[in-house]
Amino acid sequence: MDIPQEHSAGGVVIRWKGAQTQVAVIRPASSKALALPKGHLNPGESCEAAAARELWEETGIHGKLKGKLGDICYRYSFRGRLISKVVSFFLFFYEAGEINELEPAMRKEVAEALWMDTQEGLMALSYPGERDILAKALKRI
Ligand code: ATP
């Protein structure tokens, strides 16, 4: 069986608050999940550029790219069809912008974007693959 493949890119954006580190996370409008910002690549767009664009669109912040963290893979079904997906994640350090200040159109996709202490994020992120990616980012900083 030929399973359609999707590729998205996303970001782990870290900022320092005193001795604490925080990560930018979102609550997608379509689910109760707590997730990292990510999204589909536009035609001709690099993974890094897509990750930076998606994190800005979904959270309202800009980050400085610090390198690739890794890929996560999962499958889901959409309208009865199985889809296989790879998401490439990159590490960013916070640079600018107000979290949760989103373009009105983005509100249909993101209920809320927020800073969360990274230790809390390790437990609260909904998907195991994203928790692993955050753990990898924390080892790297
Ligand atoms: P994108 O944000 O890449 O544009 P999307 O919003 O169209 O994609 P996904 O976020 O991939 O779609 O969600 C599709 C399905 O996969 C949903 O049921 C969601 O709960 C599930 N899902 C999302 N991320 C993960 C993950 N890391 N691991 C397992 N399942 C996931």
Report pLDDT for 2.
85
Q: Is the CB of 8 under 6 A from ligand 1?
A: yes
For residues 19 and 1, what is the distance between their CA atoms, to the nearest angstrom?
A: 51
Number of C-beta neighbours around residue 102 at 10 A: 19
Protein residue closest via CA to atom 21 of ligand 1: 76
**Residue with structure tokens 């980012």?**
137
Element (H, E) at 26: strand 20-28
In tens digits, what is the pLDDT along the chain, a chain of 141 residues? 689 999 999 999 999 999 999 999 999 999 999 999 999 999 999 999 999 999 999 999 999 999 999 999 999 999 999 999 999 999 999 999 999 999 999 999 999 999 999 999 999 999 999 999 999 999 999
DSSP state of 116: E
DSSP state of 107: G
Q: Is the CB of 85 under 6 A from ligand 1?
A: yes
Residue 89 Cα to ligand 1 middle (Å) = 14
Report pLDDT for 46.
98
**Residue 66 in tokens:** 């610090």
